[in-house]
């Protein structure tokens, strides 16, 4: 069965952030991810991982000004220097936390902007990041996000991401496939997972509608988890959903898979 990780930005948010590591371990998770580590001391985060026997699975490159609505810098032609600096900051944290992959948010396309120029900026930035992260032993991954939840996000579909990857031409760049986002954008989840399996390094899950835990919506997760086994997916599956009635109360779906 897949290895399940808890997204601490969305799960256990009824407790302070640094207490969520223990809550995740108590619930049976072996790995954790979250949006960003940069507000915390990396040595404290490392201690929390070790104390609770957890693997740091993933975090994102710095996104720009998140509170002001920015969702990544990679497609923004006037922020290339800032993007390059952000790669170094992510590497500093990844080395201490021990995670082997970092996600790049492509960013919100400015209204009326030149999409061809933004695409070339994205390609150049990913080429830079993939090379720098490879030197550090860290894989770069990129996630398409649906345009309903995040209007204007530059990459919305798996095919768009793969076209960009092919233009980048790096062996250190793979896809983060979020089943919730791709159900909203394109469907054909099982067939796409199988077809793109060699290009996929990480999977995230939530049900649709509502982005709640598996079993609350239309996605047949028992089938998909068995399908991931059949096709030989070996990466992590991260629970990135909004608990419908509290994290602990909504984990009954997970217990059969924890062994």
- Under a CB-based contact definition with an 8 Å cutoff, are residues 90 and 61 in contact? yes
Beta-carbon contacts of 10 under 8 Å, excluding residues fewer than 6 positions away, are 239, 240, 241, 242, 243
Q: Is 43 a catalytic residue?
A: no
Cα→Cα distances 44→51, 54, 124, 250, Å: 10, 14, 34, 29
How far is C-alpha 67 from the chain's CA centre?
19
How far is C-alpha 134 from the chain's CA centre?
18
In three-state secondary structure terms, 102 is: strand
Pair type for strands 31-33 and 139-142: unpaired
CA distance from start to end of the chain: 9
Q: Is 240 a catalytic residue?
A: yes
Pair type for strands 200-205 and 236-239: parallel
DSSP state of 217: S
| Structure tokens given for 8 | 């601490």
Q: Which of 51, 143, 163, 218 is catalytic?
A: 143
Q: Which of 43, 70, 213, 240 is catalytic?
A: 240
Exposed/middle/buried for residue 48 (C-beta within 10 Å: 0-12, 13-18, 19+)? buried
**Quick one: which of 7, 119, 11, 104 has its CA closest to 62?**
104
Residues classed as catalytic: 143, 240
């Amino acid at each position: 069965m897949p290895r399940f990780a808890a997204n601490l930005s969305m799960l256990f948010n009824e407790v302070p952030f640094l207490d969520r590591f223990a809550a995740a371990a108590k619930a049976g998770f072996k790995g954790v991810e979250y949006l960003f580590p940069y507000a915390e001391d990396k040595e404290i985060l490392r201690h929390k991982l070790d104390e609770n026997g957890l693997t740091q699975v993933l975090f994102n490159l710095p996104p720009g000004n998140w509170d002001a609505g920015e969702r990544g810098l990679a497609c923004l032609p006037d922020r290339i220097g800032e993007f390059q600096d952000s790669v170094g900051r992510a590497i500093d944290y990844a080395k201490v936390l021990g995670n082997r992959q970092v996600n790049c948010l492509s960013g919100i396309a400015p209204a009326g902007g030149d999409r061809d120029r933004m695409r070339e900026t994205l390609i150049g930035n990913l080429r830079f990041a993939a090379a720098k992260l490879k030197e550090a032993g860290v894989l770069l991954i990129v996630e398409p996000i649906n345009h309903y939840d995040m209007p204007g996000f530059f990459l919305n579909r798996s095919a768009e991401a793969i076209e960009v990857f092919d233009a980048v031409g790096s062996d250190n760049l793979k896809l983060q496939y979020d089943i919730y986002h791709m159900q909203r954008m394109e469907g054909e989840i099982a067939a796409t997972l199988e077809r793109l399996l060699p290009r996929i390094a990480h999977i995230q899950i939530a049900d649709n509608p509502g982005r709640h835990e598996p079993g609350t919506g239309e996605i047949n997760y028992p089938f998909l988890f068995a399908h991931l086994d059949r096709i030989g997916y070996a990466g992590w599956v991260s629970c990135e959903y909004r608990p419908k009635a509290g994290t602990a109360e909504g984990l009954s779906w997970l217990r059969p898979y924890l062994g």
